[in-house]
Amino acid sequence: MIHSDEEARKAADYLVVPDPDDPSLSAVLDVTDETGASLRAHVVQERPLTIFLNSQEVITAMTIGDHPDWLAVGYLRNQAMLRDDDEITAIDYAEDIHTVVVRTRRRTDYEEKMRRKVHTSGCAQGTVFGDVMETFEKIRLTDEAVLRTSWLYALTKRINTTPSLYLKAGAIHGCVLCREDRPLVYMEDVGRHNAVDKIAGWMFLEGVAPEDKIFYTTGRLTSEMVLKCAHMGIPILISRSGFTAWGVELARKVNMTLVGRARGQRFIALAGAHRIVFDTDPEAVGEEDSKYRRKGAEGKA
């Protein structure tokens, strides 16, 4: 449900946008605050989703439950289990048993690969498989991409003011696929890795090219975030949050532009600064309006 003409305009400009008023994605609970007052709080839902590739069970992820098809395809894609030329013959989702099966024309068997799991720092238990690093070593992202600071400032303002579960309830991550100064696809989930995978799945199924895209996340710039964006072929990764040293190191290896702490007029370029065109005076941008920062864990309503 959209509550104003301004919110309707913002949602209409996206290809995919969050629906913070979807009752299946959050619950309203009675809570007590630090003064003893009774309040109502929005709390995001969390449920398991088991992903199969053909007849093989791959993983069970904790997710808010929207777009299970995109999440499954994107996860398999980012784990190098789906190839560029793979033909998906069906995606079957059984809501009652929280299971999605991705079926391909090519026969698949990843039993050996699945023994080499690495649990990452991702919320809701991120997982990557050991041989993902082997394909990562071969990646070199395009030098043709550009990031104008005018685009960066426009994107962060637009995304941070878009109605979302992130603003309504907190305890969730948002990821946005962008082109120039326009956000295209906005996904949310309890784990940032899930939100990335939903976008990867959407891109794969829609045949969207990555070379001219910008990826924005509310979450930390960890090794996992860099690995996923690199495998997706996206050359520019931006976050309103911080970063890890290994994430920065990996970004530099694949020629990725990495921008962290992007809030208001401020940001830090940690890798790939050669792509940035400084075409805007930061003083003309101003600081981020506090009313658009996400709510804390108490999620007061």
CB 172 within 8 A of CB 186: no
* pLDDT digit string, tens, across residues 168-227: 888 899 999 999 999 999 999 998 899 999 999 999 999 999 999 999 999 999 999 999
* pLDDT digit string, tens, across residues 32-80: 999 999 999 999 999 999 999 999 999 999 999 999 999 999 999 998 8
CB 237 within 8 A of CB 259: yes
The CATH number covering residue 266 comes to 3.40.140.10
Integer Rg of the chain from CA: 19
Look at residue 167 in the predicted model and tell me its pLDDT: 85
Look at residue 10 in the predicted model and tell me its pLDDT: 54
Tally of domains in the chain: 1
| Higher local confidence (pLDDT), 271 or 116 | 271
Entry pTM: 0.87
Phi-psi region of 88 (alpha: psi -120 to 50; beta: other; left: phi over 0): beta
Look at residue 125 in the predicted model and tell me its pLDDT: 44
Look at residue 121 in the predicted model and tell me its pLDDT: 45
Question: How many percent of the chain have pLDDT more than 90?
Answer: 73
* pLDDT digit string, tens, across residues 107-117: 988 866 766 55
Q: Is residue 167 part of a domain?
A: yes
Q: Is residue 70 part of a domain?
A: no
Q: Is residue 243 part of a domain?
A: yes
Q: Is residue 171 part of a domain?
A: yes
d(CA 200, CA 193): 10
Q: Is residue 248 part of a domain?
A: yes
Least confident of 108-112, 120-124, 143-147: 120-124
For residue 173, the enclosing domain spans 147-292
| Cα dihedral sign, 231-236-241-245 | positive
Look at residue 209 in the predicted model and tell me its pLDDT: 97
Please determine, for residue 301, whether its predicted confidence score (pLDDT) is greater than 80. Answer: no
CB proximity list for 239: less than 8 A, separation 6 or greater: 216, 217, 218, 219, 220, 221, 225, 259, 260, 261, 262
Q: Is residue 283 part of a domain?
A: yes
Q: Is residue 192 part of a domain?
A: yes
In this structure, the number of other CB atoms found within 10 A of the CB of residue 42 comes to 19
Q: What is the mean pLDDT of the chain?
A: 88
Q: Is residue 114 part of a domain?
A: no
Look at residue 117 in the predicted model and tell me its pLDDT: 57
